[in-house]
Amino acid sequence: MAKLVVSEFISVDGVMEDPGGSEGSARGGWAFQFNRGAEGDKFKLDEVTSADALLLGRKTYEGFAAAWPGRTDETGFADKMNRMRKYVVSNSLKNPEWDNTTVISGDVVGEVSKLKQQRGGDVLVNGSCELVRALIENDLVDELRLMVFPIVLGMGKRLFGDSPHAWSFRLVDSRPVGGEGVLIVTYEPKRD
């Protein structure tokens, strides 16, 4: 069974919007103000290397699809991103152009549950705020990896919105990287 892993860049106050600056938000690009160091870079490379598929919301998918196909690097990160299976949740996208992409529409919870039944490596979710909230609400997330940056943004899309439910997680790992206060925190949901 595949493990569904949500991995996010996040501020101390929970904002996940536009960490790289490509979305054009007022405070975009905040993640690049900090050095995550070689250990942080290795964490992200290992994460992508162990994944068999990406699961993304439409907006995140469109940003990735515009950026990754033209990239190369010595570590193989870009090659892996471009050749792995990709699933995009959308009711409007009909003909995705990024290689190996399948559109999921309709019963997202049912389709993601089927993805998790497949053998193989992780199904990795990046960005995709609304999708992540739905995955958490429907108890589909197996691991939550947060790269927390030492900045308070005060505004922007937050990873956790208002919910009638409380969700408990168990700390799996935490460690500082890069020497500037960036922290990687890994949680698993507490399940009865």
Task: Indicate whether 142 belongs to any domain.
Answer: yes
Helix axes 129-137, 108-117, angle to 10 degrees: 80
Q: Is the dihedral of CA 162, 9, 5, 84 positive or negative?
A: positive
For residue 186, tell me if it sits in a domain. no
Rounded CA gap, 51 and 40, in Å?
17
- Degrees, nearest 5: CA angle 162-165-166: 95
Is residue 27 domain-resident?
yes
**82-102: per-residue pLDDT in tens?**
999 999 999 999 999 999 999
Residue 190 falls within a domain, yes or no?
Answer: no
- Pull the structure tokens for residue 100: 């190996």
Helix H or strand E encompassing 93? none
Query: How high is the pLDDT of residue 12?
Result: 97
What is the 3 state secondary structure string of 109-166? HHHHHHHHHCCCCEEEEECCHHHHHHHHHCCCCCEEEEEEECCCCCCCCECCCCCCCC
Q: Report how many helices (DSSP H) and strands (DSSP E) the chain contains, helices first.
A: 5, 8
CATH assignment at residue 133: 3.40.430.10
Q: Does 160 reside within a domain?
A: yes
When the pLDDT of each residue in the chain is averaged and rounded to a whole number, the result is 94
> Residue 86 — left, alpha, or beta (φ > 0 → left; ψ -120 to 50 → alpha)?
beta
Residue 188 lies in a domain: no
Sheet holding 85-89, edge to edge: 101-104, 85-89, 51-57, 122-126, 4-11, 143-149, 182-189, 169-177
pLDDT tens for 138-191 read 999 999 999 999 999 999 999 988 877 888 999 999 999 999 999 999 999 998
CA separation for the pair 41, 46 (Å, rounded):
9
Token pair for 66? 């515009």
Least confident residue range of 43-57, 62-76, 122-136, 153-167 = 153-167
Contact of 77 with 48, CB cutoff 8 Å: yes
Give how many domains the chain has, as a whole number: 1
Question: For residue 65, is it within any domain?
Answer: yes
Answer whether residue 9 is part of any domain: no
Residue with tokens 């990687």: 184
Domain that holds residue 38: 17-180
